[in-house]
Amino acid sequence: MTAPLSLADLNACPASVFAAQLADVFEHAPWVAAQAAAQRPFATADALHTAMLAIVGALPEDARVAVFCGHPELAGPAARTGAMTPDSIREQGALALDRLPHEEEAWWDRLNAAYRTRFGFPFILCARHYTVAAMRQVFAQRLGNSREAEIAATLREIGLITRYRLAARIADHGLADLEGRLTTHVLDTSRGQPAQGLRLALHQVDSALPCSTGAALIETVTDSHGQTGAPLISGQPLRIGRYELRFHVGDYFRSIGAVDGPWPFLDVVPIVFSIDEPTGDYHVPLTITPWAYATYRGQ
């Protein structure tokens, strides 16, 4: 992808440069950018984005669906062979498509086929906002929508996808960041102070079990404020889905001599919760004694 251009430059440059820079914002539909060039100048990147979406939204249904059909399927054959645009490759990254187990491939193939048969265009969603488990859940759920609802939903998702693509192509775009945040905080209420030096890890939970069977997304240790320095997740949208925070409470209380033996009442404490707002502020603190704990969603 070429280097970002400033909005000022995009407003001033030849229409062909504008069109080239933004050609891939709408998948396999460079004409959208070409048409948008005619509406310059744009006061903000937001206004530019809105204008491009409006161009597609104004199309008769057939033409709109044709734009949809420019998108690759999620975890489809194109995805598995890497035969997609660089943007789509980046966006589908979370699916770990080169490592899908056989029965999972079959599931995606089945739903992709069912969806296309029912609606005549591929299932599209802003993959950045979803864990794999959440993608599967929303895929199965949207499969049952009416055509009207799905066309609206697809436009919304394309709106989100193109917003990210635009932000990558415009320097100082000024678009409100689509960012969420996840933080935690551990308080030792048996001593009235932060729990310092407590090990914790964040996992994504995609299995049927309440807890994760996979590797941690993040592993860290609390500081003297009982916090993790930087947020657990920030600067990016949070993926909708289920998560598990694992707090090594037993080891912490062992380290301060408050418990001993191999079976303290509390050892590894799992907190399993879901995120459903990609731009949400999730603070999931934990208060602990060797015999009790509490947690809640703060913001």
DSSP E strand boundaries for 120-240? 170-171, 180-183, 186-188, 193-194, 199-204, 218-221, 233-236
Choice from 41, 57, 120, 210 touching its own copies (CB under 8 A): 210
d(CA 296, CA 299): 10
Residue located via tokens 């000024």: 174
Structure tokens that stand for 216 in this block: 């941690």
Residue located via tokens 């001033």: 12
Residue located via tokens 């001599």: 257
Q: Which is nearer to its own copies, 172 or 276 (CB)?
A: 276
Q: Which is nearer to its own copies, 146 or 224 (CB)?
A: 224
Q: Is residue 190 close enough to count as binding its own copies by CB under 8 A?
A: yes
Site mask for its own copies (CB under 8 A), range 267-296, x = bound: xxxx-xxxxx----------x-xxxxxxxx
Q: Which is nearer to its own copies, 110 or 191 (CB)?
A: 191
Q: Is residue 107 close enough to count as binding its own copies by CB under 8 A?
A: no
Q: Is residue 229 close enough to count as binding its own copies by CB under 8 A?
A: no
Q: Residue 202 in contact with residue 245, Cβ under 8 Å?
A: yes
d(CA 298, CA 213): 27
Choice from 44, 81, 213, 236 touching its own copies (CB under 8 A): 213
State in angstroms the smallest separation of the CB of 136 from its own copies. 10
Q: Which is nearer to its own copies, 107 or 293 (CB)?
A: 293
Q: Residue 178 in contact with residue 164, Cβ under 8 Å?
A: yes
158: Cβ contacts below 8 Å, ≥ 6 apart: 26, 53, 56, 67, 68, 71, 124
Segment contacting its own copies by CB under 8 A, of 6-14, 42-50, 85-93, 186-194: 186-194
Q: Is residue 241 close enough to count as binding its own copies by CB under 8 A?
A: yes
Q: Which is nearer to its own copies, 97 or 205 (CB)?
A: 205
Residues contributing to the site for its own copies (CB under 8 A):
134, 137-138, 141, 187, 189-194, 209-213, 225-226, 240-242, 244, 246, 261-270, 272-276, 287, 289-299
